Amino acid sequence: MPVTANAQQQLWSPLGMEYPAVSSLDREDGMEKAWCCIAGTARDLAKLGRLHLHRGLAGEPQVLSETSLNHSAPGPPARAGAGRALSLSWWPASPQWVDYVAVGKCGQFLYIDPAPRTVVVRLGKSFGPLGK
């Protein structure tokens, strides 16, 4: 099943996204990229963040399993000095390893902090001066 069709069936439809799932191709008339590049509006991306806050629930049935969520949330590095640990495109956002972020192209991100139940979506054209 193509990446976009799978995303539409497994995520976009159950989450009630406003616009169809879109992904990038590896070249003109090529194959969909499976390693990156899911595109969406700020509202639709925020729904993905809310899905994480609600531990995979978006009504019935459960959209993401508890096992999937546990594997996708970043955790502490395996060894001292290992730096930040990446897990399924999620990065820890603080030294406490509680909040996390998915970083997209050109400074776009989806930030999740479960403690205050906060989701932040940033869309942009560049990382700006802080992204040097």
Domain that includes residue 91, residue range: 3-131
How many domains are there within the chain? 1
- The whole-number pLDDT of residue 90 equals 76
- The whole-number pLDDT of residue 101 equals 86
* Tens place of pLDDT per residue across the chain (132 aa): 888 888 888 888 888 999 887 778 888 888 888 777 777 889 998 998 888 888 777 766 788 887 777 666 665 554 444 455 555 677 788 877 788 888 877 778 889 998 899 999 998 777 666 554
Q: Return d(Cα 34, Cα 27) in angstroms, integer.
A: 13
* Short-list 112, 108, 113, 87, CA closest to 38: 108
> Looking at residue 88, which CATH number applies to its domain?
3.40.710.10
CB 107 within 8 A of CB 124: yes
- The whole-number pLDDT of residue 79 equals 42
- The whole-number pLDDT of residue 119 equals 94
CB 11 within 8 A of CB 48: yes
Number of residues in the chain: 132
Strands 90-92 and 118-122: unpaired
Residue for token digits 């989806």?
110
At position 130, the amino acid (one-letter code) is L
pTM greater than 0.85: no
Q: Fill in the DSSP letter of residue 122.
A: E
Name the 3-class secondary structure at 23. strand
Sheet of strand 100-103, all strands in order from the earlier edge strand to the far edge: 90-92, 100-103, 109-113, 118-122
* Short-list 9, 11, 7, CA closest to 24: 7
- The whole-number pLDDT of residue 76 equals 54
CB 52 within 8 A of CB 40: no
